[in-house]
Amino acid sequence: MDLDLKNLPDDASVPKDTVICLIDEIEVKYQEKIHYLEEQLRLFKNELFGRKSERRHEPNPAQMLLFLGNEDQTTEACQASDETIVIAAHARKKRGRKALPKDLPRVDVIHDLSEDEKQCACGAQLTRFGEEVCEKLDYIPARLRVERHIRYKYACKSCEGVEDEGPSVKIAPAPVQLIPKSNATAGLLAHIAVSKFADGLPLYRQQKIFDRLGIEISRAAMAKWLIQAARCCALLIALLKQEIRSGPLINIDESPLQVLNEPGRRNTSKSYMWVYRGGRPDRPVLLYQYHHTRSGRAALAFLDDYHGYIQSDDFAGYDHLDQKPDVVHLGCWAHARRKFVKVVKVRKKHRSKRENPKGLADEALDYIGKLYQIEKGARRQELDIAQIYQLRQEKAKPVLNEFKDWLETKRSLTPPKGLLGQAIGYTLANWKKLIIYVEDGRLRPDNNLVENAIRPFVVGRKNWLFAGSPEGAAASATFFSLIETAKANGLEPYGYLRHIFKKLPLVQTEQDLRDLLPQNIRPDDIALTAQD
């Protein structure tokens, strides 16, 4: 309230009312401030000590309380339990140990009785009538072997000592390899790459493992091999970029990465690994790119001349995508839901669930849950694109309209700076992007697929911490692209890398190169044999 101190009224009752109003206004502001600070404190505590899962654990309404309040409630519960309940028949999966894969080699270990034990008490010889087989899984540590490439030489004894224009000695040509003059085979390179980028095993740990096997391979040598191998895959990465831009939708996400020895930057500077997911829905492509900045210009450069849908979170760097013609920018319902989940996590806990009824955040989560139940039903029924579109028009659109009305109504009931106010404000501010997914059956309500794709990079980063150089960061992006795309297409990453490392030196045409894309390879084509 604005108060003019120079023109105060002479009537004593007026200043008294003014002071009362000021006190009430100050008290409301302080209560809002206290509520905000308490909420922030609970939020920080939850970030440090709370559970990370966003799954809601709702009580079953049919579940009775363990301790009821009085005998009347106990009597009512017992009377209700006397009712006859019909349980429908259902199939249940058999629990127990799973059978071991049939393609694994078997080694028979025979357990037999001694000759004395085969003698019956009556003096007759026991006769074997059957056997009992129990299969156990054994592990043989990794073994290294040396490939000896023997090149036979040939000479003509008749021409010995005779001058001739042609060569007097012929030798079989040297085998073509990915890294010339290197003693690393395609299998070894694939193992090092998969161990680091799929299993999160840093090179210095791999060096120790090789030491235990009696082989001395420095991590500097392994790093050099990986960078050289990544350069040989540059044309393959270019084709993956074409494939990812050919699909109707591209999902985008990014994560921090520390890179050493960047020109003109400190070693503590923060760089980023960008991830793009796209291509045909049944043959997805995952492409990783290293950039020294989080600026939206990186995404704009990648999406130059792209026409279609783009889905991302609400990072401000993606706002430039809305200005591109022929590009439709989708929002992510998982991010909107996460803000309401945060409210539920940090609100005050009560002793009894009966004293803690559902709040506004729970109601919002119920609306979002209905949307995801519709998507779950579509996947369960295996609907096609047209059927998914029709289902969303019939069921999802009414829920969205009702939810928006609810948001606009409840917006005035909560402080805008509080967590609930921020969640409602975020959802309404991004509403146009959030509802686009109902327009096309090929779209998804969230950006979770690409966020799941960046998880292996984040797990690996916790182990190897940083990239030693920009070349190393670029090589990491190459191997993450190949490995994660192979996994998304049902290929075993070691077998795939080993296959392309063998075939790349022999590529002569663009079609030969396209045949090495993960989308064009069947799992049987790269399966390891006994000779491998």
Does one domain contain both 391 and 486? Answer: no
What pLDDT band is residue 65 in, cutting at 50, 70 and 90?
low
Question: Tell me, what's the pLDDT at 36?
Answer: 72
Rounded Cα–Cα distance for residues 174 and 152 (Å): 11
What pLDDT band is residue 4 in, cutting at 50, 70 and 90?
low
Does one domain contain both 394 and 268? Answer: no
User: Mean pLDDT throughout 70-79?
Assistant: 52
Task: Name the domain boundary from 446, 479, 508.
Answer: 446
**Letter string b/e over residues 28-52, b meaning 16 or more CB atoms within 10 A of that residue's CB:** eeeeeeeeeeebeebbeeeeeeeee
Does one domain contain both 263 and 219? Answer: yes
Q: How many domains is the chain built from? A: 2
User: Mean pLDDT throughout 191-208?
Assistant: 95
Residues 6+ positions from 154 with CB-CB distance below 8 Å: 169, 170, 171
**Could you tell me if 151 and 474 are in contact, meaning their C-beta atoms sit under 8 angstroms apart?**
no
Does one domain contain both 251 and 344? Answer: no
Question: Tell me, what's the pLDDT at 355?
Answer: 46
User: Mean pLDDT throughout 66-89?
Assistant: 57
Residue 528's domain comprises 186-321+465-532
Q: Which of 65-69, 375-379, 526-530 has the lowest mean pLDDT?
A: 65-69
Is the predicted pLDDT of residue 423 greater than 70, yes or no?
yes
Question: Tell me, what's the pLDDT at 1?
Answer: 46
Closest CA to 476 of 203, 230, 207: 230
Question: Tell me, what's the pLDDT at 286?
Answer: 95
pLDDT in tens, 450-468: 999 999 999 999 898 889 9
Residues 6+ positions from 178 with CB-CB distance below 8 Å: 186, 189, 228, 229, 232, 501, 502, 504, 505
Is the predicted pLDDT of residue 81 greater than 70, yes or no?
no
Does one domain contain both 360 and 425? Answer: yes
Does one domain contain both 428 and 473? Answer: no
Does one domain contain both 412 and 442? Answer: yes
pLDDT in tens, 230-255: 999 999 999 999 999 888 999 999 99
Is the predicted pLDDT of residue 396 greater than 50, yes or no?
yes
Does one domain contain both 208 and 270? Answer: yes
The alpha carbons of the chain give a radius of gyration, in whole angstroms, of 34
Is the predicted pLDDT of residue 305 greater than 70, yes or no?
yes
Does one domain contain both 342 and 393? Answer: yes
Q: Is residue 70 part of a domain?
A: no
Rounded Cα–Cα distance for residues 461 and 467 (Å): 9
Does one domain contain both 197 and 313? Answer: yes
Q: State in Å, rounded, how far the first CA of the chain is from the last one.
A: 82
Q: Is residue 433 part of a domain?
A: yes
C-alpha of 69 from chain center: 46
Is the predicted pLDDT of residue 86 greater than 90, yes or no?
no
Does one domain contain both 294 and 340? Answer: no
As a dihedral over the C-alpha atoms of residue 243, residue 245, residue 248, residue 252, rounded to 10 degrees, the angle is 110
pTM across the whole model: 0.79
Q: What is residue 507's three-state secondary structure? A: coil
pLDDT in tens, 110-159: 999 998 898 998 889 999 989 999 999 888 887 888 989 999 998 887 77
Instruction: Compute φ and ψ for 278, nearest 5 degrees.
Output: -165, -150
**What's the burial of 232, exposed, middle or buried (CB within 10 Å: 0-12/13-18/19+)?**
middle
Q: Is residue 367 part of a domain?
A: yes
Q: Is residue 64 part of a domain?
A: no
User: Mean pLDDT throughout 358-375?
Assistant: 91
Q: Is residue 23 part of a domain?
A: no
Q: Which helix (H) or strand (E) element contains residue 357? A: none
Question: Tell me, what's the pLDDT at 235?
Answer: 95
**What's the burial of 424, exposed, middle or buried (CB within 10 Å: 0-12/13-18/19+)?**
buried
Q: Is residue 285 part of a domain?
A: yes
Q: Is residue 414 part of a domain?
A: yes
User: Mean pLDDT throughout 376-400?
Assistant: 94
Token pair of 504 as six digits: 């790349």
Question: Tell me, what's the pLDDT at 351?
Answer: 43
The residue type at 482: L
Rounded Cα–Cα distance for residues 250 and 243 (Å): 11
Question: Tell me, what's the pLDDT at 354?
Answer: 46
Mean pLDDT, the chain, as a whole number? 84
Does one domain contain both 336 and 420? Answer: yes
User: Mean pLDDT throughout 316-329?
Assistant: 81
Is the predicted pLDDT of residue 79 greater than 80, yes or no?
no
Is the predicted pLDDT of residue 361 greater than 80, yes or no?
yes
Q: Is residue 132 part of a domain?
A: no
pLDDT in tens, 245-294: 888 999 999 999 999 999 999 998 999 999 999 998 889 999 999 998 88
